[in-house]
Structure 1
Amino acid sequence: MAVIIAASAAMMSSCHIYKKFELPEEGISGQIAAAQKEEVDSTALGNIEWDEMFTDPQLQALIQIALDKNVDLENARLNVEIANAQLLGARLSYVPQISLSPNGGTASYGGSKITSNSWSYQIPATATWQLDLFGGLLNSKRQAQASVKQTEAYEQAVRSQIIAGVANCYYTIVMLEKELKLSQETAELWKESVQTMKDLKEAGRYNEVAVVQAQANYNSIMAQIPQLEDQLNQAYNSLSLMLNSAPQRWTVDTSYEPVFPEYLEEGVPMKYLAARPDVKAAEQSFAMAYYSTNLARAAFYPNITISATGGFTNLLGSVIKNPGEWFYQLAASLTAPLFRSQNIASLKAAKAQQQQSLNTFEYTVLSASSEVSNNLVSFNKNRERVKLLEEQVKNLEKAVEYNNDLLTLGTATYLEVLTAQQSLLAAQMSQLQCDLSISQSAISLYQALGGGR
């Protein structure tokens, strides 16, 4: 047995069964491995606490409700508990397994009388200990540790998704409320324009065509109001679902202006991608596959088990002796695989799955990089666009005012007035939607950088 153990140990050391998981040094994996050693700026966007990122008190209250009541997050927390329980089981594999199995009995032959001296009994306790000479238990424990880290990363990903989802829905509701208010106020102004056209017609300045055109303009804005109310209802219901609540109208503050940076530098260091929960989860999935390969390698080596039994009995061979005596027994067993075809197939499959996990990990990093880049550009471009829209709205407000004045003086046509009104409304709506796009880009970027702590 000693020869087998020594030979197996030498073979095992060459296969690195005891080696801990490390990311490959080349390619994307190598860049992430190097980035993990860098110090991350605590003031970076992805490291800001969510209640510092979203300072609107109403939004903060809604996010907290979601974090407290969301079913997906609760299930993610339970997955962490399950993984920790499995890790505890893997650690306890190093501890001897102890069992107690007392038994006793008697027998009567030829009608003989059963007496106390004819009873036999045993009270044995058995301890079994598997020696981890070939890394099976060690790799099982390390795989369980990777599973815990993976579920913790997944919990963080769910948490980040919930925070971003509530914030996105909240700002969508704010925009729709503003659009509804703008439409209602514009409808009142356009209603006055209809009356103005009727008065000018009575004065002989315009004909029925001008009145009909103004009325059609008013009808168009009135038709938008039910549509916006429907969209608002759906948005509130979506928010209620995120908060695990029955459909209801939630309090939002349309006067609160979110504070986001004016401009963000394009290009994100790899260390911020390495901190993303989905990247961390993919890395731990790769680690679990690595340890599965090690376990498949360990299956080629013997299993060595030591067992010890001791206790108290009055049965000595075929003789019952009272009082009884203590006894003990020590044994060792070795199980070595002889026909290894199944082990060879398992190792081949484990290696393929490990490569799949590496591919998935590197693709996750690339997807994260693309997502961050898209949101950075979107945020900065929407910042540029909203400034132009603000100027457009100011100019169109002047155009509407001037055209109304010229209309009363008879130097502007009703078509010029209607066109200016329609252009102003379209620009105001675009400005509100662009404000929402800025908020959504900032939220998506915050989530893409692993925010939500």
Structure 2
Amino acid sequence: MRNARRYPMLLAIAISLAACIPQKKPLPPEVTLQPPEQWRATSEPASSVRSDWWRNFNDPQLTRLVETALQHNTDVLAAISRVDAAREQIALARSALFPSANASVGTQTSRSLGTLGIAHTRSVQPELQVAYELDVWGRLQTLEQAARLQYQASRTDRDAVLLTVASTTAQAYITLLSLDAQLQVTRETAESRLGALRVAEDRAGEGYTSELELTQAQSEYEAAMQMIPQLQQAIRRQENAIQVLTGALPAQVTRGLQFQQLQPPRVPGVLPSELLRRRPDVARAEQQLAASDLTLDARRDEFLPQVQLSGSIGRLYVNSLNYDPVKIWSLGSSILAPIFTAGRLEAQVNIATAQRDQAAYAYRAAALNAFADVENALSGVTLYAEQIERIRARRQTLARSLEIARDRYRSGYSSYLDELDAQRNLFNLDLAAVQVRESQLNNVISLYQALGGGWVPKAE
């Protein structure tokens, strides 16, 4: 009879309070996004991307460094710890669906004066207390679902960190090989200028050239030699950076292939409509949006009554009594319905709505950045290849110009300035060629990263 009376009363309270629940605001229209039908830049036919895409460079040392970084990088380890914490948040949210039991032992000692003199009384009361909240409106289950989505978001965040670490390590290694190549070009240029300096010294000793031309040859030689320690310092810094990425102390990094031996692998294409499902950062933003939406539902459910059940059972031991311990127990229930909270619940709903909208804007931003990343990397595949072809053609011209200028100078038909200009142009072009090729290889890595690196969502 009590239950029959209680639930109609609960239903009546819920109906009266339901009218006070703030209406759930829809998502802002600005968050909608329609993927483009095709890429602006030319792309390869759609196909799958390898999850271990770094092996496509066929450099065993590059592979070793990347896979070491994926196991020992501190950002990766921190992301794994965040996954562990999110998993425990699921257990924390699930625990609210079950009763809680607590054991307690209370003792009391008293001293009193009576007709028979001073009496000492000691009582001991062990007790088991049980409390349970009925999830009548599904609020607790909603919070558990939100925790599961946050856990999934933490897993995709870990995968995004793995992809970033792999890309950063691969690009750092290619930059290291590029610095090695630039150092080699500089040393070869310094050796060539040393030969030109000796020729200038011989000609100055015989009176065929002026002191000005001799000092110019010395200056050019010292300029090339000055760049060698600068590049060596840059190499040392790059090696240390790679070691930190792999979770190791600064040390020398072993090389695999030479820089000239590295070839940019062919990167498969992806349709624009499929991109958003292939990037872990976009999936993370989507899961966080869904979790924030469930949190908003739970905040709105707080306007409805909460039903609490409680009970306790125990024994009472009193040393001054001559009878057996007394069994004590209690059962109770309560309905907590918010009547006046001074705007606290409304503020919590508004905060949850704003956080839901922030998550929606974050999802749109992640999607926009994903399309921009792919477009930039795709355009770089073609444009860097064109730059390299132009550099090769120009180098042939500059090399011929240097030969002509050197022959004319040694034959006495022109000054040493013509040869100096030809040397500088060729040296600068050789350095630029290495740097453009470095950008080309790193752009391929950026494209792999922009395409999600072969990422596939894992089931829980």
Same fold (TM over 0.5): yes
Match for residue 6 of structure 1? 11
Match for residue 249 of structure 2? 246
| Partner SS, residue 300 of structure 1 | coil
- Is the alpha carbon distance of 1:452 and 1:65 closer, same or farther for their aligned partners in structure 2, counting shifts above 3 Å? farther
- 1:421-449 CA deviation, whole Å, 9 max, x = no partner? 22221111111000111122122222233
State the distance in 2 between where 1:332 and 1:302 align: 13
Aligned-pair identity (%): 26
Match for residue 35 of structure 1? none
Contact 2:20 2:303 in 1 (8 A): no
Deviation at 1:192, TM superposition (A): 0.8
Contact 2:267 2:444 in 1 (8 A): no
Match for residue 333 of structure 1? 334
Alignment of 1:315-334 (within 5 A): 321-322=323-324, 329-334=330-335
State the distance in 2 between where 1:10 and 1:402 align: 96
Deviation at 1:391, TM superposition (A): 2.4
Match for residue 217 of structure 1? 220
State the distance in 2 between where 1:138 and 1:253 align: 54
Deviation at 1:298, TM superposition (A): 0.9
State the distance in 1 between where 2:321 and 2:449 align: 77
Structure 2 residue 176 is matched with structure 1 residue 173? yes
Match for residue 362 of structure 1? 364
Structure 2 residue 145 is matched with structure 1 residue 138? no
Contact 1:153 1:277 in 2 (8 A): yes
> Which of 162, 167, 183 is equivalent to 2:165?
162
| Partner SS, residue 324 of structure 2 | strand
What's the TM-score once normalised by structure 1's chain length? 0.82
Structure 2 residue 454 is matched with structure 1 residue 449? no
| Partner SS, residue 337 of structure 1 | coil
Contact 2:276 2:283 in 1 (8 A): no
- Is the alpha carbon distance of 1:314 and 1:276 closer, same or farther for their aligned partners in structure 2, counting shifts above 3 Å? same
Match for residue 311 of structure 2? 308
Of 332-341 and 57-66, more deviation after overlay is shown by: 57-66
- 1:120-149 CA deviation, whole Å, 9 max, x = no partner? 665433322211112221121122112212
Of 77-86 and 344-353, more deviation after overlay is shown by: 344-353
- Is the alpha carbon distance of 1:97 and 1:425 closer, same or farther for their aligned partners in structure 2, counting shifts above 3 Å? same
CA RMSD of aligned residues (A): 3.7
- 1:152-181 CA deviation, whole Å, 9 max, x = no partner? 222222222222222222212211111111
State the distance in 1 between where 2:143 and 2:322 align: 46
- 1:265-319 CA deviation, whole Å, 9 max, x = no partner? 6x8514223432322232233223212211221110011012233455679xx98
Alignment of 1:342-421 (within 5 A): 342-405=344-407, 407-408=409-410, 414-421=416-423
State the distance in 2 between where 1:406 and 1:261 align: 44
Match for residue 260 of structure 1? 264
State the distance in 1 between where 2:358 and 2:193 align: 63
State the distance in 2 between where 1:211 and 1:452 align: 59
State the distance in 2 between where 1:8 and 1:415 align: 97
State the distance in 2 between where 1:173 and 1:167 align: 10
- Is the alpha carbon distance of 1:272 and 1:11 closer, same or farther for their aligned partners in structure 2, counting shifts above 3 Å? farther
| Partner SS, residue 251 of structure 1 | coil
Match for residue 36 of structure 1? none
State the distance in 2 between where 1:15 and 1:451 align: 49
Deviation at 1:8, TM superposition (A): 6.2
| Partner SS, residue 250 of structure 2 | coil
| Partner SS, residue 331 of structure 2 | strand
State the distance in 1 between where 2:211 and 2:454 align: 60
| Partner SS, residue 48 of structure 1 | coil
What's the TM-score once normalised by structure 2's chain length? 0.81
Deviation at 1:13, TM superposition (A): 9.4
- Is the alpha carbon distance of 1:30 and 1:97 closer, same or farther for their aligned partners in structure 2, counting shifts above 3 Å? farther
Q: Number of matched residues?
A: 434
Alignment of 1:181-220 (within 5 A): 181-201=184-204, 205-220=208-223
Contact 1:87 1:141 in 2 (8 A): yes
Of 217-226 and 202-211, more deviation after overlay is shown by: 202-211
Match for residue 458 of structure 2? none
> Partner letter of residue 361 of structure 1?
Y
Deviation at 1:187, TM superposition (A): 0.8
Deviation at 1:405, TM superposition (A): 4.6
State the distance in 1 between where 2:10 and 2:424 align: 88
- Is the alpha carbon distance of 1:181 and 1:332 closer, same or farther for their aligned partners in structure 2, counting shifts above 3 Å? same
Contact 2:307 2:335 in 1 (8 A): yes
State the distance in 2 between where 1:384 and 1:15 align: 66
- 1:376-424 CA deviation, whole Å, 9 max, x = no partner? 2233211211122122223333443454455555566533333322222
- 1:319-371 CA deviation, whole Å, 9 max, x = no partner? 8743766x654332111111143212222222222222212221222122223
